[in-house]
Chain A
């Protein structure tokens, strides 16, 4: 305490530390109620994996239960629509798990019929290949048989936002505590073109365009140019890529810079160059059929907004 010239007593800051500071510290110390609130908040923010069909929770990490050689993660509605149209349109895909999470920005949906416009995080694995009899020659050269064996491919479609404090939980629940190194991880996501740092003006950029970022152990040449500095990856894609780099898993992130973040045909088709990469050969499907599926997805999920015309 100190007295001013005019006789008023004021609280003066003191580096030595006074009794009053101890009182303040007591006030700042957590009460049992604070601890309870913190515990409940942590419980609410837990990432849980469960099976939607049986509503049972999954105790084992997904990739430990379903080991695979290819793990493809689509994050964001455009990347999810790309996988739905070009990869999941043939073969039998079984839903093996679903991540349920809550944060201030999103809550995953519980509906059975999922659309890329909703927030969800669902995992699939390839249950069975289409047989030779199901792909007769009269369908033409455009139809290619899936050469991947059943169970080799694991997919994740994630349109929800995974907060920073939830990302490690998500990774542990999906990859497990000791992930296998003999699988290849591909991450697809989008970012707005205004986040792309370049010396050129953004109006001269030909968006949408793809950029790649890969881990040290990823030896295959990516199907587009690498992401230049000082651009960085963000959020869950960055977390997955960092995790793979630490554990020595070959992984590549394909980042599509677009000026339309909502579900958009042109943005989804910007991912098409990935279909020509070596590791995706067995996953290439009947492309005209894929385009039709994509158009149907667009029309069913178009959000009516009158702000822009």
Chain B
């Protein structure tokens, strides 16, 4: 049945599926994992770095992009679609600032991106964007925000979420481990993001990229050294926890 209703984006199947939109969600799963965490005074975006070819300039392979000084986004899926969406969002951020003399709220720019994606699910001759995005930032009121959009054009606020390959595994980890203690301070929130990624990332810390935004501060990208330090700390804590466990059993 799918083959008769999956060629055109604007055609519903008899049981109500828009197959092209669902197939676009499969394209998202082909991208590497990205995780977003909303802390008390911090928002964290962690991504699995794609391995770069020998002759490729690593700086040009980016999964975390700043949309404005106070908003940034990580995506998973088709690279070119992400570039198109990021460019439109950046223009919209500046246009908004020029028009109303205020920076965009995180919810506004998320709604803009979601509306753009939804438009492409209802137009003839176009296809949906094959990306999901995690958008984080702080509003003027100082409240941290995390939103997720998907190819269908829906968007929701989250406390923590993951997209891309193995997102389900990471989400389950977050559901078990996202507690008030886990986000008690900024460092703990960062560690939670790294721990979530380590569940699915091959070859550990050197394949992780991390970005944070603190209240009234610009986006900060963690260096490889800083990430390695966090990973070492996490591994030490894991060992100590295991030692305690084995002592208890004994």
Contacts and interface: CB of A to CB of B under 8 A. Distances in A.
Contact of B31 (A207, A299, A309): A309
A306 interface: yes
Contacts of B32: 308-309
A266 interface: yes
Interface in A282-309: 295, 298-299, 302, 304, 306-309
Given A265-B202, A299-B51, A308 B25 contact: no
Interface string A191-207: 00010000000010011
Given A203-B25, A265-B202, A295-B202, A309 B51 contact: no
A64 interface: no
A306 B79 contact: yes
A interface residue count range (under 10 / 10 to 19 / 20 to 34 / 35 or more): 10 to 19
Contacts of A307: 30, 78-80
Interface residues of B, number: 28
A152 interface: no
Interface string B67-101: 00000000111111010000000000000000000
Given A203-B25, A265-B202, A309-B31, A304 B53 contact: yes
A309 B165 contact: no
A95 interface: no
Contact of A304 (B51, B82, B166): B51
Nearest to A194: B26
A143 interface: no
Given A307-B78, A309-B50, A259 B29 contact: yes
A207 B26 CA distance: 13
A304 B76 CA distance: 16
Interface string A22-47: 00000000000000000000000000
B202 A206 contact: no
A309 B82 contact: yes
Contacts of A260: 29-30, 165
Nearest to A298: B202
B138 to A, nearest CB: 26
B214 interface: no
Given A259-B165, A266-B166, A302-B51, A308 B78 contact: yes
A206 B168 contact: yes
A295 B202 CA distance: 7
B213 interface: no
11 contacts: A207-B168, A259-B29, A260-B29, A295-B202, A298-B202, A299-B51, A308-B31, A308-B77, A309-B63, A309-B76, A309-B82
Interface of B: 25-27, 29-32, 50-53, 56, 61, 63, 75-80, 82, 165-166, 168-169, 200, 202-203
Closest 8 CB pairs of A and B: A304-B53, A308-B30, A309-B79, A308-B31, A265-B202, A259-B29, A302-B51, A309-B63
Interface of A: 194, 203, 206-207, 259-260, 265-266, 295, 298-299, 302, 304, 306-309
